[in-house]
A and B are shown apart, each in its own frame.
Chain A
């Protein structure tokens, strides 16, 4: 019998009625983790002797095993960022997320692989090679939170923590038939999350249904004085408040984004979802957005994120952090360390950032990107004045093949809109969730629901309503 395939509410019921113990759950999670690792390559570390600190048996996360993306600090546990430069790094403190989940009674059983330092979107650029999609092992997990999403979709754990700077939780969720949520910027503390782009980074949550996502979210949300971007808001019981009625909800769709999807079956799926939710009483309104702004999403994202990353990752030099390569001088040692420690993709991103920050380029590139960011965010905030949320396909197609992933990471102007639109929610800090919406050739696809800042409950409500209408939840892909 597999318990970890079940929704958290069911596992919780079994635990409080003493039908199972948390030790049973740990055993099952670890057995699956070890069994699937050679095939899926999703872990940096499997924690064979996990610690348990459950005090409140009424908490739905009590006794629930979970995994954590390996860019969150864990005291005394290897934290690599899937980068060679940090392959031996053992932090001396816990991220706030880790501390909160421990206090909730959740049990950390593994640290998962990512695209190196979260600077990628395929799940193939970690230092230990690609993470595989359980639906088709030749295909990408998506990234950068590749290991975390696969741990949930393959049934190792019912929830996982990722991070999301451009779409790194919400796009992989679509590729793996699970729920991926990033709440409003500032609601979950980022203390202890390796910074990539400070103004865009969010903590992300993977689950197999929206209610489970609400359980995890309410345990993580809250002000943290250790994170200067933390928002001071009232504690909310998102799970108890969850209202899945779609009647009278106003949904926006963006014509230019829907039209840009590369696979016509994705467009058909989206049309199908729209007609189903209309039948449930939703009011759907189509909006037009200036295509120049939508085509600007990728360059704006790259200019801002690479510039911030260049600065954030300057500490990875073998002196303050990371492996240390020898060299005749102090500087030569740093050069040797960074040359050997970073992959080609990461170095390219740093060079882009450095170029954009040069005094002579700053106004034309970095500052201008920040200006366009505002125009894009203002455009969507205006749309949110007329509707409760917008929905779009989460990706233009199913998970791409692993072969050719390096080309997928190379910047091109081929799909400027349809593969980059989820970053709108990072620009604005908007709450944004992806849920499964169907399959194309046995590969899952998803839709994304995005609302205005601090409308997290509304976004979860609508996601829950659509999930209920589509009947697509609790999907697990068994790995043979």
Chain B
């Protein structure tokens, strides 16, 4: 199955970047390899009965903690990291209206 350039274009638009025609062509070739291999994987017996593995092992000891203030950055440090500030605030481009 070949993915159309239009579909790839929609994906890159959703990801909020532009790509060139040549980049889409390379991607089409890469997708052919991935999808072909993933189809072969689908032929493994009972694959759909296997439980998906999300992490290498079950992580223990990270129960929800009390909502206490912990590990905070100082206001000075936070503002130091911002490109544009105004008084004690980070200034960004207008989002609404």
A441 to B86, CA, bound (A): 61
Residues of chain B within 8 A of A364, CB atoms compared: 38, 42
Task: Report whether B81 and A411 are in contact in the complex, using a CB–CB cutoff of 8 Å.
Answer: no
A319 to B92, CA, bound (A): 7
Among B18, B19, B41, B73, residue most surrounded by chain A Cβ atoms (within 10 Å): B41
Which residues 322-366 of A have a CB within 8 angstroms of B?
Answer: 324, 327, 329-331, 333-335, 338-339, 342, 344, 347-348, 350-352, 354-355, 364-365
Choose from A298, A317, A347, A429 the contact partner of B23 (Cβ within 8 Å): A347
Which residues 50-78 of B have a CB within 8 angstroms of A?
Answer: 50-57, 59-62, 71, 73, 77-78
Known: A199-B55, A413-B37. A372 touches B47 (CB 8 A): yes
Which residues 63-101 of A have a CB within 8 angstroms of B?
Answer: 90-93
For the complex, is A229 an interface residue (Cβ under 8 Å from B)?
yes
Task: Report whether A292 and B17 are in contact in the complex, using a CB–CB cutoff of 8 Å.
Answer: no
Residues of chain A within 8 A of B27, CB atoms compared: 348, 351-352
Interface size bucket, A side? 35 or more
Interface string of B1-27 (1 = CB under 8 A from A): 001000010011011111100010011
Nearest residue, chain A, Cβ from B49: A371
Residues of chain A within 8 A of B19, CB atoms compared: 344, 347, 351
Known: A295-B40, A299-B41, A375-B50. A342 touches B17 (CB 8 A): yes
Which residues 426-474 of A have a CB within 8 angstroms of B?
Answer: 427-430, 453
A330 to B96, CA, bound (A): 9
Known: A310-B15, A427-B56. A92 touches B73 (CB 8 A): yes
Task: Report whether B52 and A371 are in contact in the complex, using a CB–CB cutoff of 8 Å.
Answer: yes
Nearest residue, chain B, Cβ from A346: B17
| Chain B interface main SS type | loop
Task: Report whether B16 and A373 are in contact in the complex, using a CB–CB cutoff of 8 Å.
Answer: no
Task: Report whether B38 and A303 are in contact in the complex, using a CB–CB cutoff of 8 Å.
Answer: yes
| Chain A interface main SS type | helix
Task: Report whether A365 and B38 are in contact in the complex, using a CB–CB cutoff of 8 Å.
Answer: yes
Choose from A223, A296, A333, A342 the contact partner of B41 (Cβ within 8 Å): A296
Residues of chain B within 8 A of A295, CB atoms compared: 37, 40
Task: Report whether A429 and B56 are in contact in the complex, using a CB–CB cutoff of 8 Å.
Answer: yes
Task: Report whether B23 and A413 are in contact in the complex, using a CB–CB cutoff of 8 Å.
Answer: no
Residues of chain A within 8 A of B50, CB atoms compared: 371-372, 374-375
A330 to B97, CA, bound (A): 11
Known: A355-B11, A374-B50. A413 touches B33 (CB 8 A): yes
Residues of chain A within 8 A of B31, CB atoms compared: 352, 355
Nearest residue, chain A, Cβ from B29: A410
Min CB–CB distance B36 → chain A (angstroms): 7
Nearest residue, chain B, Cβ from A191: B71
Task: Report whether A351 and B38 are in contact in the complex, using a CB–CB cutoff of 8 Å.
Answer: no
For the complex, is B44 an interface residue (Cβ under 8 Å from A)?
yes
A232 to B34, CA, bound (A): 37
Residues of chain A within 8 A of B78, CB atoms compared: 92
Residues of chain B within 8 A of A331, CB atoms compared: 16
Task: Report whether A300 and B17 are in contact in the complex, using a CB–CB cutoff of 8 Å.
Answer: no
Nearest residue, chain A, Cβ from B93: A330
Q: Which residue numbers of A lie inside 8 Å of B, CB to CB?
A: 90-93, 185-186, 199, 223, 226, 228-229, 231-232, 292-293, 295-296, 298-300, 302-303, 310, 317, 319, 324, 327, 329-331, 333-335, 338-339, 342, 344, 347-348, 350-352, 354-355, 364-365, 367-375, 377, 410-413, 416, 427-430, 453
Q: List 18 A-B contacts (CB under 8 A).
A: A92-B73, A92-B80, A185-B57, A199-B54, A199-B55, A295-B40, A335-B16, A338-B16, A348-B23, A354-B11, A354-B14, A367-B52, A368-B38, A368-B48, A369-B41, A371-B53, A375-B50, A428-B56
Known: A342-B17, A365-B38, A368-B41; 7 extra A-B contacts, CB below 8 A, are A92-B77, A223-B61, A302-B34, A348-B23, A354-B15, A355-B3, A427-B53
